[in-house]
Amino acid sequence: MQKFWDKYCLQSGCELKLDMVVMDLHELHERTLTNNGLADGEFDVAHINTDWIYEGFVNDAFEVLNDNIEKNPPVNFPHGWSKSLLGLQNFDGKIVGLPFHDGPECLIYRKDLFESQKEQADYLVQYGKNLRVPQTWEDFTQIAEFFNRPADNLYGSIFACYPDGHNTVFDYCLQLWTRGGSLVDKNGFIDINTKASVEGLNFYRNIVKDKNAVHPGSDQFDSVAAGLAFMNGEAAMMINWFGFAAMCEVDANSKVKGKIYVDVLPSAVDQISASLNVYWLYTIGKGSKNKEVAYDFLRFVTNQENDKLLTLEGGIGCRISSWNDAEINKIIPYYHKLDTLHAVANMLPQKKNWAAIASVIDEMVLSAINTIEPTEKLIVLAQQKINELEK
């Protein structure tokens, strides 16, 4: 961000200094939305993820960008972006953000291990079938156990189970969706007391505690720490954001550059894969005293050149031009897979109290991991709490 701001000031002549505040997710939500930091003008611009965008909109935290976009639109707006990255910030035509950073959830795996003739031969002897990218969660577990070699600092898989209200919630949703389930009922209310939910949570609570398949640091890993461990060569597979696959190709510290690939997630037998479309937005605070400069910066930082630069620096650009860029695809040879992943990506329900609902789901999943309470009981208890929130 500092690099982008310096470029912007050089080009525009702006003399304002960038006061950049780096926060974890809980603090970001609290300071920008709960404590009204955007509405009151404490922050001019904030990165807000799509989990919270509806909450911020109904609480009037964001500047509506329509007038600015009509007068001076971002280059090639809206056609420069996939429709899947323009919907969640648009409320009945009111646009409150521009895409910053994307990258749906996917299966990231060590193609060098999967393509090794020795590994393939050993797997065939051990399991009586060919080693291939897992199509089902049963395949995933078996392959994770096969590659789990603590003596070599190699583990079958990595999960991000750190309790930040996001990682375990996303993992739960992916388990639910890849079993044909849904978070909401036909009336739009959250309904997690379903067969697919029980099956998904049962599988998840067992796999993340499986010392014969999963990195022992998973309970303390957020998505970033999990990505760094994978980049360090500590796992054969990982369910994580696409951006961490890209990081393995562009980070100078990567030990797996050129050795990985991505695919859609495994699913239950006879079910289709699913992904999660959560992305980050540039937003302008409703209370900002520098709205004109803020919008001009947003327009600058989201142009093709800077979207590509973001990608080459380790982020995930959101423009279609970046997805199809020859230089980027040479460095990150699976970048074009973003289209495939978006095709199966689901979105979280847009509710003004989603953060509170997510907290209940997070608590449920963590209880499943850390206690021996029956899955069905935990789900019923969580559903009761969610029902209270939805009254």
pLDDT tens figures, 94-151:
999 999 998 899 999 999 999 999 999 999 999 999 999 999 999 999 999 999 999 9
Among residues 249, 276, 303, the one where a domain terminates is 276
pLDDT recorded at residue 102: 86
Same domain, 151 and 260: yes
> Tokens representing 276?
């999660």
Are 15 and 113 in the same domain? no
Please give the pLDDT value at position 5: 97
Please report the pLDDT score of residue 315 as a whole number. 86
Out of 241, 260, 276, pick the residue that ends a domain: 276
Q: What residue type is 30 in one-letter code?
A: E
- Is the pLDDT score of 90 beyond 90? yes
Q: Could you tell me if 125 and 153 lie in one domain? A: yes
Give the β-pairing of 345-346 and 275-276: parallel
Are residues 41 and 148 located together in one domain of the fold? no
Average pLDDT of the chain, as a whole number: 95
255 DSSP 8-state letter: S
- Please indicate, yes or no, whether residues 98 and 114 belong to a single structural domain of this protein: no
User: Measuring CA to CA, which residue among 75, 79, 147, 74 is closest to residue 116?
Assistant: 147
**Confidence tier at 313 by pLDDT (50, 70, 90):** confident
Which domain range does residue 240 map to?
105-161+208-276
Q: Do 6 and 89 share a domain, yes or no?
A: yes
In the block, tokens 């980049």 appear at 231
Q: What pLDDT shows up at residue 164? A: 79
Two tokens, residue 58: 């109904």
3-state SS class at 152 = helix
Q: Which SS3 state, helix, strand or coil, does residue 328 take?
A: helix
Domain identity same for 72 and 213: no
pLDDT digits (tens, 9 = 90+) for 286-310: 999 999 999 999 999 999 999 999 9
pLDDT digits (tens, 9 = 90+) for 34-72: 999 999 999 999 999 998 999 999 999 999 999 999 999
- The confidence score (pLDDT) of residue 290 equals 98
For 233-260, the pLDDT digits (tens) are 999 999 999 999 999 998 999 999 999 9
Q: How confident is the model at residue 193 (pLDDT cuts 50, 70, 90)?
A: very high
Query: Higher model confidence: residue 132 or residue 352?
Result: 132
The number of beta carbons lying within 10 Å of the beta carbon of residue 78 is: 14
Q: Is residue 45 part of a domain?
A: yes
Q: Does residue 127 form part of some domain?
A: yes
Q: Is the model's pLDDT at 153 over the cut of 90?
A: yes
Residue that has been written with the tokens 């895409």 in this structure: 99
CATH number of 306's domain: 3.40.190.10
Single pTM value for the model: 0.85
pLDDT, mean of residues 183-202: 97
| Cβ atoms within 10 Å of 124's Cβ, excluding its own | 12
Tell me, yes or no, whether 271 and 287 share the same domain.
Answer: no
CA 211 and chain centroid, separation? 25
What is the tally of structural domains in the chain? 2
Q: Whole-angstrom Cα distance, residue 238 to residue 171? A: 12
Report the relative pairing of strands 280-284 and 275-276 from DSSP bridges: unpaired
Domain contains 299: yes
**How far apart are alpha carbons 238 and 208 in whole angstroms?**
12
pLDDT of residue 378: 99
